[in-house]
Amino acid sequence: MFITPFTHHRPAGLHSVFDILAKYGDDAAVYAGGTELLLALKARVLRYEHLIDLKRVKELGGVRVENDFIGIGALATHYRIANDPVVLASIPEYASLSDGIANIRVRVAGTLAGNLSFAEPHSDPPALLAAMGATVQLVSADSERSVPVSEFIAGEFTTMREDNELISEVRVPVTQPNEAFRFRSFGHLERPAVNVAVGCKNDDGKTAFRIWLGAIGDHPIHAEKVETALRGVPRASLRDVLPAATEEFTSGLSATSDLHGSADYKRHLASVLMQRAVNEAAESASSKES
Amino acid sequence: MTEKQSLSFVLNGESREVSIDASELLVDVLREKCGMKGTKRSCDVEVCGACTVLADGLPISSCTTLAIDMDGRDVTTIEGLARNEKLSRVQQAFVDHAAMQCGFCTPGMVLATTALLETNEKPTDAEIRHFLRGNICRCTGYIKILEAVKSLV
Ligand SMILES: Cc1cc2nc3c(=O)[nH]c(=O)nc-3n(C[C@H](O)[C@H](O)[C@H](O)COP(=O)(O)OP(=O)(O)OC[C@H]3O[C@@H](n4cnc5c(N)ncnc54)[C@H](O)[C@@H]3O)c2cc1C
Ligand code: FES
Ligand code: FES
């Protein structure tokens, strides 16, 4: 397939990006890896007169460490994130998620910011980032704001980002010594059918879970009812409570039947993955305590 | 209309300058303007790996990469692996293990394997499978390919 001709821009700084966006409005789009955008242009689902390559924008660079969070710059690719020593040490479960995305070529070219901005529902990062309490930094020509990942994805291919804003960074809280995260994703196609992220925090033997589901709906889903059912349950008794809690929650989920599987299959998958991830996170958090 | 752009890059060790349109895809520029017909287009959606080339040593899908994005970068196609008529060690291993039938996936498989061994000298079986997961072969059943790769570890 061929792409309809466009004018290519390769700005070196954020200011120029905003100038070009202001000048051409809806006729212009930014891209980083192009792994989503170019597919849409080839399929003629989208069309732009102007494409702005972000890869040389100096402000959007790599991965940085702050006291309590890791800043993943908009140009960081999944491959870079998966292999970054700081990410591996400070948010290991997120590094492992990045290594499982798509195939090596998509990981080498595709960025986390591009994944979140595109908001294709069959995506891995949103559920775990929501469970970890990560935020998306949005910048425009004259402002900057922060939106929790849990609220950023509004629906299929829609986010809370305004047209004049870009993602500059994703901020992921450093995993604490008494915390553990587990991410489980399954699908038989390239992209996930269902995924589950679980965080377990161990405060002097009292455990609290954070549980998010991804890919099954058009935005990440907070499994609050399961969290509540598990609150204060000792680890040895988890098995008595967990299956009923996950089944009750997932049976009420709305899901669509599509190539990834039937709605019932997805609900079943969600329940099974959730039980496994909860058990693993609980085990890992308790071993950290001792 | 859009103007022609100049793409300056290193292709298989040689500096090249090619006049292209910004909307041209890398696979077409490599095949039609640089004569590198070993780069294949098949699925056209980043799934099969037939169009794999290495950009600064790492695999990308040339079917879904703008050629202009290779400006200033180092690109290797299957034609760039042999030196002085001598196959690279990965190519030789594929020959020795008969790791191909129709050969359509082979350039991508060999390039992906080359990148794997550059970044991880001694990959485990699981790491080999994980890295090559995105390269599809419809003929060999993968066993011969895995044997060829394992012979290099
Ligand atoms: C074959 C295949 C398999 C895949 N499998 C998986 C999978 O298993 N799990 C998974 O999670 N994902 C999967 N993906 C999706 C993949 O993660 C994304 O394609 C990739 O991360 C997109 O990043 P990019 O830099 O290439 O985005 P681009 O294509 O460059 O951009 C995508 C969109 O984001 C916008 N954008 C880019 N950067 C910014 C920014 N900084 N600010 C604002 N907007 C921006 C662009 O305008 C465009 O609309 C798969 C994709 C493919 C093609
Ligand atoms: S043709 Fe590019 S990945 Fe299949
Ligand atoms: S040898 Fe035919 S596709 Fe692999």
Residue A290 clears pLDDT 60, i.e. is over it: no
Q: Is residue A21 part of a domain?
A: yes
Query: Residue B122 is part of a domain; what is its CATH number?
Result: 1.10.150.120
pLDDT in tens, A225-248: 999 999 989 888 999 999 999 999
B114 and B69 housed in the same domain: no
Question: Which atom, in ligand 3's list, is nearest to the CA of B100?
Answer: 1
**Which residues in chain B have their CB less than 8 angstroms from residue A79's CB?**
58
B27 and B69 housed in the same domain: yes
- Determine whether the interchain pair A105/B59 forms a contact, defined as Cβ–Cβ distance below 8 Å: yes
- Cα–Cα nearest to B59, from A106, A101, A62: A106
Q: Which of A148, A173, A198 delimits the end of a domain?
A: A173
Angle formed by the axes of helices B143-150 and B106-119, nearest 10°: 30
Q: Residue-wise over A15-52: b if at least 16 C-beta within 10 A, else e?
A: eebbebbeebeeebbbbbbbbbbbbbbbeeeeebebbb
pLDDT in tens, B123-144: 999 999 999 999 999 999 999 9
Looking at this protein, which amino acid is placed at residue A2?
A: F
Quote the pLDDT of residue A57: 98
A138 and A187 housed in the same domain: no
- Determine whether the interchain pair B46/A35 forms a contact, defined as Cβ–Cβ distance below 8 Å: yes
B15 and B70 housed in the same domain: yes
For the residues B4-30, what does the mean pLDDT come to? 97
Residue A17 clears pLDDT 70, i.e. is over it: yes
Our answer on whether the CB atom of B111 is closer than 6 Å to any ligand 3 atom is no
Cβ pair B61, B108 in contact under 8 A: no
pLDDT in tens, A65-124: 999 999 999 999 999 999 999 999 999 999 999 999 999 999 999 999 999 999 999 999
Q: Which of A135, A150, A173 delimits the end of a domain?
A: A173
**Which residues in chain A have their CB less than 8 angstroms from residue B46's CB?**
35, 39, 102-103, 105-106
The band of A286, judged by pLDDT with boundaries at 50, 70 and 90, is confident
Q: Which of B79, B102, B137 delimits the end of a domain?
A: B79
How far is the centre of ligand 3, averaged over its atoms, from the C-alpha of A174 (Å)?
44
Quote the pLDDT of residue B38: 98
Query: What is the nearest CA distance from A1 to chain B, expressed in angstroms?
Result: 8
Q: Is residue B122 part of a domain?
A: yes
Tell me which residue range forms the domain holding A86: 59-173
What percent of chain A has a predicted confidence (pLDDT) above 90?
91
- Determine whether the interchain pair B65/A109 forms a contact, defined as Cβ–Cβ distance below 8 Å: yes
Quote the pLDDT of residue A235: 86
The band of B35, judged by pLDDT with boundaries at 50, 70 and 90, is very high
Number of domains in chain B: 2
Kind of pairing between the strands at A50-53 and A7-9? parallel
Rounded Cα distance between A123 and A187, Å, is 11
Q: DSSP secondary structure string, A243-262?
A: HHHHHHHHHT-----BTTB-
How far is the centre of ligand 3, averaged over its atoms, from the C-alpha of B23 (Å)?
30
| Mean pLDDT lowest among A17-26, A229-238, B58-67 | A229-238
Q: Which residues fall within 8 angstroms of residue B127, CB to CB, at 6 or more apart?
A: B116, B120
Query: Residue A122 is part of a domain; what is its CATH number?
Result: 3.30.465.10
Q: Which of B40, B61, B79 delimits the end of a domain?
A: B79
The band of B28, judged by pLDDT with boundaries at 50, 70 and 90, is very high
| Mean pLDDT lowest among A31-40, A253-262, B71-80 | A253-262
Q: Is residue B139 part of a domain?
A: yes
Number of domains in chain A: 3
Query: Residue A24 is part of a domain; what is its CATH number?
Result: 3.30.43.10
Residue A262 clears pLDDT 70, i.e. is over it: yes
Q: Is residue A91 part of a domain?
A: yes
The pTM score is 0.97
Q: Phi and psi of B122, rounded to 5°? A: -125, 70
Quote the pLDDT of residue A267: 97
A206 and A233 housed in the same domain: yes
B112 and B69 housed in the same domain: no
Average pLDDT, chain B: 97
Residue A289 clears pLDDT 60, i.e. is over it: no
Query: What is the nearest CA distance from B45 to chain A, expressed in angstroms?
Result: 7
pLDDT in tens, A135-173: 999 999 999 999 999 999 999 999 999 999 999 999 999
Query: Residue B68 is part of a domain; what is its CATH number?
Result: 3.10.20.30
A41 and A126 housed in the same domain: no
Neighbours of B149 (CB within 10 A): 26
Residue A41 clears pLDDT 80, i.e. is over it: yes
B61 and B116 housed in the same domain: no
Q: Which of A106, A140, A173 delimits the end of a domain?
A: A173
How far is the centre of ligand 3, averaged over its atoms, from the C-alpha of B107 (Å)?
10
Rounded Cα distance between B27 and B43, Å, is 12
A43 and A77 housed in the same domain: no
Tell me which residue range forms the domain holding B96: 89-150
For the residues A249-260, what does the mean pLDDT come to? 93
Quote the pLDDT of residue A234: 87
Q: Enumerate residues lining ligand 2, CB below 6 A.
A: B 41-44, 46-51, 61, 63
B65 and B15 housed in the same domain: yes
Quote the pLDDT of residue B3: 75
